[in-house]
Every structure is written in structure tokens, then in C-alpha cells.
Amino acid sequence: MSAAPLPVVRLTPKANLRAIRRGFPWIYANELVLDRRTKALAPGTVALLEDTERKPVGLVGVTPASKIAARMLDRDDQAEIGRDWLATRLRRALELRERIYDAPFYRLVHAEADGMPGVIIDRFGDTCVVQPNAAWAELLLPDLTQALADVTGVTNILKNAGSRGRSLEGLDDADAVLLGSAPDAPVPVEMNGATYMADLTGGQKTGLFYDQRPNQEFAARLARGQSVLDVFSHVGGFALAALAGGATSALAVDGSAPALALAEEGARRMGAADRFAIRQGDAFSTLDALGQENARFGVVICDPPAFAPSKPALDAGLRAYEKVARLSAPLVAEGGYLVLCSCSHAADLSSFTGACLRGIGRAGRRAQLLRTGFAGPDHPLMPQLAESGYLKALAFRL
């Protein structure tokens, strides 16, 4: 018995068909014919996308009420989107990560760049944390869970529903255990010689930020024999890597007491507790206070949250990045190093670099740009989608 034909949705004449055919994965609401039939489709429905001449373009997951009304799933309009299809995508993603990393701690699926729009999967040994941030993935969550277990062999799969993207798709914010059980304690993760404690159920995002791994490694080289200040530290990302790399001391600043407690536990497990200190508080206020105290460090790293998560927030976000640079630059000893990061996809590299240089200049410092870093290879870039290359890390010598 053949499967029922898929519903059909159609592009408007305004749609950028050339970009879509070349790989751009999103169809915006003004590019899709949102007639009564299309609006009645359940969020996440898999449909056949046609152009204005009724020629097939591919298979999409449709969310009629979202700004991104459809996400491209497969250019092959004969594909069957289900457990086998998901398993094929997961195997391809796993092969890449196993080639790069010796241990099963990495981002396994990076959404559009791994051919699974809106889906984030981070792996922590025998546990995976899934963020199904698009309605099509939520609809196929049972199949995704089974395929993930079959392909990776993990015994625990957790759903993290805290992403802002889920609300834009009309999805709930209820976390869940999809397979096995949630760990009853933070999971230790070895990375760049440091030990990080990842809280998979109560921490930020999926529990740990894997994307900064190569930038933390480079910063750790700069930090050998130096004192380090790590602002917006979370669970000690840059600070613990620096201690593992031979820093004489590290001070971690964050607004979250639970995150700093995990950082302290990581330092203890590394045998570096005597070189590690924390300071809880607002980052801007703390930077200002350290300046008043005439504190100086060999290396200062600032890795703030996304100040410009969308285009409307760009101007305010760039001012915030400039302020971070202006307040942190005076804390760097002469000849020392300043690492400034942005995870705002709305702030491109040129805009972010300009904001940092303005801040450094207004602090009365001169800078050499040593390195421009991005996310690690477990966060691949989809060339057609600038948003997939969100992370920037600039290393300066002052």
C-alpha cells in the first residue's frame, strides 16, 4: 500500500528561487503562498515545495505561523523523511566527529550545516542532549530518538526545550527524558587538558559550550606563565583551559553562582584549585570595579552571551561589545593579551571587529590582531547560511 501523497506548498514570485536552489535552507513567510490550505497544515508537516511553475524544488518542513515558514529537508522530492532518513544524516554527522575527536564529547549535529534544520545534538559520552528547535523535528522526535540510539549506541537521550527558537516555532518549553535516564550529577568532560563539569539538566543550553574548544586552546598558549581573567566564564571555559596550559592563576567572573560552583569543582578535579578564584557579579560592574582596583592580568578573555541575537538588536549589541572592550583593555598588562568573543550571528566579523577596536582605542590602548577564531569543526559552517557561522573570537596583543 503506497503512502499518501504529501501536501504541496508553493513559492511566491517574490521568493529567491536561485538562492534556494543553490542551497539556502529557509523559505520566509513572504516567499510562501500562505493560502487557507497551507495555513491549515499542522506545524512541522513535511510537504513538497514547488516553484511558481509547479516544478518540484524539494521537501520542506512547514511551520505556517513562523517567520521561517518552511525549512528545506531534502532536495530529492522522492525522499522519505522518517527514521531511515534521520539515521542516514546522523551516521554522516557521526563519521565526521569520530574522525576528528578521540572521545565522544562534541556537538554531534549542528542544525542546517548537518542537513537537519533547527536540530542541535550535543554528545556527552553515553548521553545525548537534543534541542529540537524546529517543528518538523518535534513532530518526528520519536523517530529521531530511536535513530540516534541506533546510530550512536548512547543509552540516555534528553530533550532540552529552553531555546528561544522553539518559541518562535510555537513549541513548548518542557524538557524531557526521551530514553534512559538523566544523570544525577554533573558530567565531567575532558577538553584541552581541562576538566569541565557539565550540568545536562540545569545548566545553560545543553550543559557545556563545545564551540570555543579551538579558541580556548589558543588562549591557553598565550596564558602560559601568565595571570588570567575570564569574564562571562560560565563553568570556567577559558580559565580552566588556561590553568591546564600553565597559567599561574585564573580569576573567573560570572553572574551565575551555580556555574561558578561547577567551575570550582572542575579546577579541584584538575588539581588546580590553589590557582583558581571566582568572583560572582554583573560582568560590566566587575570589570569597572577591577579597573578601580588597578588590577592587571597577562591575559583577559571576555566571552559574553549574544548581545545582538537579531538584526533589530544589532546597534545596541555593537555598543555593548565596544563597552566590553573599553572596560577590559585597561586590565591587560603592557604586552599582554586580550581575547574578545561574540556569538551573535547578527553581528558579522567586520562589525564586531570594528566595535572591539573602537573600545580598545577609547581605552587608550593600541592593539595587534593575532588571530581570528571561529567555532570548532564539530560546528561546521553551511556556506549558504551566514547564521551558521555565528562565533567569532579575536585575540589581540596590547
Residue 3 lies in a domain: no
Domain with 30 in it: 8-74
Q: What pLDDT sits at residue 180?
A: 98
Residue range 70-76: mean pLDDT, rounded: 97
Distance CA 220, CA 229 (A): 12
Residues 298 and 389 in one domain: yes
Rg (CA), the chain: 22
Report the pLDDT value the prediction gives residue 309, as an integer from 0 to 100.
Answer: 86
Whole-number pLDDT of residue 278:
98
Question: Is 323 within a domain?
Answer: yes
User: Is 108:122 a contact under the CB 8 Å cutoff?
Assistant: yes
The amino acid that residue 193 corresponds to is: G
Residue 338 shares a structural domain with residue 360? yes
Taking the C-alpha atoms of residue 315 and residue 151, their distance in angstroms, rounded to an integer, is: 44
The reply to whether 41 falls in a domain is yes
Strand order in the sheet with 176-179: 105-110, 119-124, 127-132, 156-159, 176-179
In three-state secondary structure terms, 327 is: helix
In this prediction, residue 3 carries a pLDDT of: 63
Q: Are 391 and 327 within one domain?
A: yes
Q: What is the mean pLDDT of residues 364-374?
A: 98
Q: In this structure, is residue 175 part of a structural domain?
A: yes
Q: What's the total number of domains in the chain?
A: 3
Does 331 reside within a domain? yes
Is the predicted pLDDT of residue 140 greater than 50, yes or no?
Answer: yes
Q: How many CA atoms lie within 13 A of 154 on its CB side?
A: 32
Is 187 buried (19+), middle (13-18) or exposed (0-12) by CB count in 10 A? middle
The reply to whether 203 and 65 lie within a common domain is: no
Looking at the structure, do residues 194 and 320 belong to the same domain, yes or no? yes
**309 or 315, which is more confident?**
315
Which CATH number does the domain housing residue 48 bear? Answer: 2.30.130.10
Cα angle vertex 59, ends 56, 61, to 5°?
140
Whether residue 14 is contained in a domain is answered as: yes
What are the Cα distances from residue 288, in Å, to 68, 259, 322, 324, 395? 41, 22, 14, 10, 21
Say yes or no: 88 and 66 in one domain. no
Q: How many CB atoms lie within 10 A of CB 120?
A: 23
Q: Is the pLDDT of residue 136 over 80?
A: yes
Residue 252 clears pLDDT 60, i.e. is over it: yes
Given 116, 145, 179, which residue is the final one in a domain?
179
% of the chain at pLDDT higher than 70: 99
For residue 133, what is the domain's CATH number?
A: 3.30.750.80
CATH number assigned to the domain comprising residue 336:
3.40.50.150
Is 236 in the same domain as 262? yes
In a domain, 155, yes or no: yes
Beta-bridge partner residues of 157: 128, 179
Predicted pLDDT of residue 2: 45
pLDDT value, residue 143: 98
Last residue of a domain, which of 148, 179, 210? 179
Q: Cβ atoms within 10 A of the Cβ of 14, count? A: 11
- For residue 141, count other CB atoms closer than 10 A to its CB: 17
Of 130, 158, 179, which closes a domain? 179
Q: Is 363 found in the same domain as 316?
A: yes
The pLDDT confidence band at residue 297, using thresholds 50, 70 and 90, is very high
Give the pLDDT of residue 68: 95
Task: Judge if 247 and 362 occupy the same domain.
Answer: yes
Hey, CA dihedral for 18, 24, 28, 34, is it positive or negative? positive
Mean pLDDT of the chain: 95
Mean pLDDT of 243-265: 97
In a domain, 384, yes or no: yes
Which region among 81-85, 164-168, 389-393 has the lowest average model confidence (pLDDT)?
Answer: 164-168
Residues 39, 67, single domain; the answer is yes
- pLDDT higher at 345 or 292: 292
The secondary structure of residue 121, as a DSSP letter, is: E
14 and 163 in a single domain? The answer is no
Residue 393, SS3 per DSSP: strand
pLDDT at 115 over 70: yes
Are 67 and 93 found together in one domain?
no
Cβ-contact 27, 15 below 8 angstroms: yes
Q: Which pLDDT score, from 0 to 100, does residue 1 have?
A: 37
